[in-house]
Amino acid sequence: MKHIKGTLAGLTAAITLSAGTAVYADTVLNTYTWRPQDEALWTYINDNNLIDGVTVRLDTTTEDFESKLRVDMQSNRPDLFFAKAGAPWLSSWMDADVIAPISDYDVDLDMFGAAAITGSTGSDGVVYSVPVGMELQAILYNRAALEQHGISEPQTLAELEAAFATLEENGIVPMHVGARAGWWVNQVFNEVLIAGFAGDDWTRDVITGDACFTDDAYVDALRAVERWRDNGWLNPNPLADDYGAMRTDVALGTSAMMIDGIWSAGPASPMFDIEPDLELGIMPIPEGRAYGFPDFGLAANPNSNKQDAIEKVLQFVITEEFAQLYAEHVGLPAANYDLNVDDERIATAARLIAENNVAANPFFSYELNADEPSYAQLVADEVARLVAGRADAESTAQAIQNGLNGWGYVGADHCS
């Protein structure tokens, strides 16, 4: 009995000591994110002690992430947080002094491309997050649905519209839009159209106010949507279908194409739960630019008392080792390295972003989103109206222009 007691006491002491050692071994950084798809990667990094002396503990909030961040920042939490791309999103955290300039840390951002850095830059020109992965938004098509009707990947706009006509004749919805989701309309659908139709000059100039939304460059993109709608190439009830319904129909093959991010074609996509044998092709609007952007960046709380550990994490995130792990675990190309990956989807996205990316992103520009109604809000409202047949291309463009002029945005004097 005495031996048993002694053994138990010894075991308890050993467990307590080891647990205590484990706690004191690593600095734990509370890190807020809205992305559950990144959890496996960070578990792997922690389990393999890839950042010496630091454990990154992810706290995932998929809904209303900003509210949680806003409330918890008032009690100086978290240490790190995932930051959405673009100056408009960064602005409220900058104003409240709860996001640190990356220049405060010994982190070299030279390897990152312009698109990645733009997404992490605030309205004051300072970089506030380390870009992590690149996203590509494009046309995603159900390969089987196209092959069944003898259609190969369209290379020109004319071929795309000929494919639409063939699909429609065969009872398949050529292009499915989930216009019930405002976020999809403005940051996916409209931005891919702009990259595809409006080109570099217009996207650069519209941000500085030198180009207008009523210019043909943009109106032509809307005219294409109007044409697709009037020819019956879009699903019949676009406002009834949300993002999930759009992906379901493309997975089932009742619709052939949709405009979406490559995350939908990744291994964790629910589309493969619907159709395990699904094969998705990826292409930008034919003859147009691709739309790649930094999906998010890793940002730091300047008021955290764990600045050394934060710096270690940021230094690790910019390494090629992390980029490779990110591609393997999350399935997206890195923002700073040209990786050699086997996955065709990641390789295609990386190639399109490197070779053919559009020069600027209106959705991320502070100049167009600094006040209400913002460009993002106007697009969500007006383009949904266009898709639903309540407006034509010209009135849609004019409504967006008028809304921005209402608060005197950068192009208000130039664009009537």
CA-closest candidate to residue 368, choices 112, 190, 113, 174: 190
Binds other proteins (CB under 8 A): choice among 27, 148, 377, 395: 377
Q: Which long-range contacts (CB under 8 A, 24 or more apart) does 408-411 make?
A: 409/209, 409/367, 409/368, 409/370, 409/371, 409/375, 410/207, 410/208, 410/209, 410/367, 410/368, 411/206, 411/208, 411/209, 411/210, 411/211, 411/212
Cα separation of 40 and 270, whole Å? 17
Residues 6+ apart with CB under 8 A from 122: 87, 90, 91, 94, 128, 366
Compose the 96-115 pattern: x for residues touching other proteins by CB under 8 A, - for all others. xxx-----------------
Kindly state whether residue 403 participates in binding other proteins, applying the rule CB under 8 A: yes
- Residue 355 CA to residue 118 CA, distance in Å, equals 17
d(CA 77, CA 94): 16
DSSP string, 219-231: HHHHHHHHHHHHT
Cis peptide upstream of residue 373 (ω within 30 degrees of 0): yes
- Which residue, 298 or 378, is less far from other proteins as judged by CB? 378
Q: Which one among 32, 42, 89, 337 touches other proteins, defined by CB under 8 A?
A: 89
- Residue 7, interface with other proteins (CB under 8 A)? no
- Does position 372 interact with other proteins (CB under 8 A)? The reply is yes
Considering the rule CB under 8 A, would residue 376 count as an interface residue with other proteins?
A: yes
In the complex, the smallest distance separating the C-beta of residue 165 from other proteins, rounded to whole angstroms, is 21
Asked if 406 touches other proteins (CB under 8 A), the answer is: yes
SS3 158: helix
Among 42, 93, 141, 293, interactor with other proteins by CB under 8 A: 93
Beta carbon nearer to other proteins, 89 or 112: 89
| Binding of other proteins by 173 (CB under 8 A) | no
Judged by beta carbon, residue 91 or residue 304, the one nearer other proteins is: 91
Among 7, 10, 22, 66, interactor with other proteins by CB under 8 A: 66
Out of 33, 55, 142, 374, the only residue in the binding site for other proteins (CB under 8 A) is: 374
Dihedrals φ, ψ of 52, to 5°? -60, 120
- Residue window 184-213: x/- pattern of binding to other proteins, with contact defined by CB under 8 A: -xx---------------------------
Please report, as ranges, the residues that interact with other proteins according to CB under 8 A: 64, 66-67, 70-71, 73-74, 88-89, 91-93, 95-98, 179-183, 185-186, 236-241, 245, 369-374, 376-377, 379-381, 384-385, 388, 390, 403, 406
